[in-house]
């Protein structure tokens, strides 16, 4: 009897002792669960849907096996097989997580390259619009591109790469339009025939200055410079401003374009509305002829005349003239001093083929 009691106690002890020694659920199970959450938050279903689903299936199978083991009596539980499976699953999940992060980093880099390219195009266009004033279309499109780029950057921060790429693409379309508008305005500046004509005028102006030992003003519209020549040599250079459509060749009254051609100063005005002014003889014979031809072709508004009152005046180079050449007052003082009635003023669009703006425009044209 005593023996049976002792046996019973031993059996109970063994039973409870074993129960206490029941193998615990492998810690990899919790790690795998956390990984699943991490994978979901990292966008597993978006960036690697197949593998993410595979991971989830593996996790589910492991979970079932754990529960199957848990259903067994403590003595018979054996988590070794499922532990091995979980270890493999965790490694697979960690690898997947790393690859998704790499994929996202790669997509961020790709976006960054494209965003940098858009930003550079925006900067280039904005820089160009500092040089001329016919920029309404350009600036409007650039402004829209800037908004699209900001939106795309916001989407990338939210890891919405596909939509970000689409929005950045829309920004690119606005920039294409802006570049096309720039090309439209400056296309004739790339025309070799036009450039040769301007160069000939410039050369003749310098030659005249040399031969007659006289002062000649050479206005370069695209470079925004007024250069004073005396005896064929450069004596001074001044920054200038033009009208809203200053880079276009003046054709008629009110077009706000600055004429191109060879002119003379016909009057010096010491107290003008815009500080001091030098009136030139626009329109000359060539201008009248161009106006008549344009009118025949219907390129001139019905009531418009050929225009006049084109001056070199003060008031500021940053001003918007209506076709005149504007200078800062301090520089106007100097130009006014150099000038005489009869001084030649040659106004050209450009002389050098390679200058910043034209190089940019050529790039836009090549990109189109």
Partner 1 sequence: MKHLTKTVVLVLAIAVVLTGCKQPTQLINDVKAAIETVTTAGADKYAAEELKAINDDLTKALDEVAAQDKKFFKKFGPAKEMLAAVQTKVTELTAALPAKIEAAKNAAIQLQGEAQTALTETAELLKKAPKGKGTAKDLEALQADLTGAEALFTEIQTALDAKDYIGAADKAKTVKDRVAAIAEQVNAAIAKVKK
From 326, 331, 345, 347, residue interacting with partner 1 (rule: CB under 8 A)? 326
Give min distance, CB of 61 to partner 1, in A: 10
The least distance separating partner 1 from the CB of residue 50, rounded to whole angstroms, comes to 18
In this complex, which beta carbon is closest to partner 1, that of residue 43 or of residue 259?
A: 43
What distance in Å separates the CA atoms of residue 220 and residue 205, rounded to the nearest whole number? 12
Q: How many residues bind partner 1 (CB under 8 A)?
A: 34
Candidates 12-20, 110-118, 209-217, 313-321 — which segment interacts with partner 1 by CB under 8 A?
313-321
Cα–Cα distance between 321 and 245 in angstroms, integer? 9
Residue 173 binds partner 1 (CB under 8 A): no
47 binds partner 1 (CB under 8 A): no
CB nearer partner 1, residue 63 or residue 208:
63
Q: Looking at 9-17, 131-139, 285-293, 359-367, which segment touches partner 1 (CB under 8 A)?
A: 131-139
Q: CB-based contacts of 1: which residues, under 8 Å, 6+ apart?
A: none
As measured in angstroms, the least distance from the Cβ of 58 to partner 1 is: 13
Contact map string, positions 222 to 241, toward partner 1, x by CB under 8 A: -------------------x
Q: DSSP for 3-37?
A: HHHHHHHHHHHHHHHHHHTPPPPPTHHHHHHHHHH
272 is a contact residue toward partner 1 (CB under 8 A):
no
Q: What separation in angstroms does the CA of 333 have from each of 6, 35, 346?
A: 123, 76, 20
- CB-nearer residue toward partner 1: 51 or 137: 137
The smaller minimum CB distance to partner 1, of residues 96 and 181, is found at: 181
End-to-end CA distance of the chain: 105
x-or-dash pattern for partner 1, window 177-216, by CB under 8 A? ----------------------------------------
Based on CB atoms, which residue is closest to partner 1, 93 or 283?
A: 93
Q: Which residues pair with 321 in a beta bridge?
A: 243
Starting at the edge strand found earlier in the chain, the sheet holding 261-272 runs 233-239, 225-230, 215-220, 344-348, 261-272, 275-280, 311-313, 325-326
At closest approach, how far in Å is the CB of 309 from partner 1?
Answer: 17
CA count, 13 A, side-chain hemisphere, 202? 21
Nearer to partner 1, 274 or 282 (CB): 274
**Quick check: 147 binds partner 1 (CB under 8 A)?**
yes
Structure tokens, 70: 């848990």
Find out whether 85 and 65 touch, Cβ atoms under 8 Å.
yes
Q: Which of 165, 149, 168, 156 is nearest to 43 (CA)?
A: 156
b/e sequence 67-96, b meaning 16+ C-beta within 10 Å: eebeeeeeeebebeebbebbeebbebbeeb
Q: By CB under 8 A, which span of 63-71, 201-209, 210-218, 301-309 interacts with partner 1?
A: 63-71
> Is residue 155 within the footprint of partner 1 (CB under 8 A)?
yes
Nearer to partner 1, 155 or 347 (CB): 155
- Whether a cis peptide bond, with omega within 30° of 0, leads into 283 is yes
Residue 158 DSSP class: T
258 is a site residue for partner 1 (CB under 8 A): no
Binding span for partner 1 by CB under 8 A among 150-158, 249-257, 338-346, 356-364 = 150-158
In the region spanning residues 71 to 130, those forming contacts with partner 1, defined by CB under 8 A, are: 129
Residue closer to partner 1 by CB (options 63, 176) is 63
Q: Which residues of 259-294 are buried (b: 16+ CB within 10 A; e: fewer)?
A: bbbbbebeeeeeebebbbbbbbbbbeeebeebbeee
Q: Single out the residue of 130, 178, 127, 171 nearest to residue 153, CA to CA.
A: 171
Q: Which residues bind partner 1 (CB under 8 A)?
A: 40, 60, 63-64, 67-68, 129, 133, 135-144, 146-148, 150-151, 154-155, 241, 244, 274, 315-316, 318-320, 326
């Amino acid at each position: 009897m005593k023996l049976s009691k002792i046996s019973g106690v031993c059996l109970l002890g063994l039973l409870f002792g074993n129960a206490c020694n029941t193998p615990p659920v492998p810690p990899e199970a919790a790690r795998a669960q956390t990984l699943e959450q991490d994978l979901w938050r990292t966008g597993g279903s978006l960036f690697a849907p197949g593998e993410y689903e595979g991971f989830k299936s593996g996790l589910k199978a492991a979970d079932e096996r754990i529960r199957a083991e848990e259903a067994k009596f403590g003595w018979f539980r054996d988590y070794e097989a499922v532990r091995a499976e979980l270890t493999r699953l965790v490694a697979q999940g960690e690898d997947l997580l790393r690859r998704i992060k790499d994929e996202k980093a790669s997509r961020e880099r790709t976006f960054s390259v494209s965003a940098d390219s858009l930003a550079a195009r925006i900067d280039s266009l904005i820089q160009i619009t500092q040089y001329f004033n016919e920029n309404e279309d350009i600036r409007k499109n650039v402004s829209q591109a800037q908004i699209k780029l900001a939106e795309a950057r916001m989407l990338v921060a939210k890891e919405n790469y596909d939509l970000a790429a689409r929005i950045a693409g829309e920004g690119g379309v606005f920039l294409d339009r802006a570049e096309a508008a720039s090309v439209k305005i400056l296309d004739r500046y790339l025309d070799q025939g036009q450039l040769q004509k301007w160069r000939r005028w410039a050369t003749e102006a310098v030659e005249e200055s040399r031969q007659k030992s006289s002062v000649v003003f050479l206005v370069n519209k695209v470079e925004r410079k007024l250069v004073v020549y005396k005896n064929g040599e450069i004596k001074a250079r001044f920054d200038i401003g033009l009208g809203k459509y200053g880079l276009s060749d003046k054709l008629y009254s009110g077009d706000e374009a600055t004429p191109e051609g060879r002119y003379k100063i016909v009057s010096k005005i010491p107290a003008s509305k815009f500080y001091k002014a030098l009136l030139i003889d626009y329109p000359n014979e060539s201008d009248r002829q161009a106006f008549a031809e344009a009118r025949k072709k219907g390129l001139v508004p019905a009531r418009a005349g050929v225009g006049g009152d084109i001056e070199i005046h003060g008031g500021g180079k940053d001003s918007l003239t209506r076709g005149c050449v504007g200078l800062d007052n301090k520089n106007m003082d100097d130009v006014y001093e150099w000038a005489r009635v009869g001084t030649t003023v040659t106004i050209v669009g450009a002389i050098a083929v390679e200058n910043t703006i034209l190089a940019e425009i050529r790039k836009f044209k090549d990109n189109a």
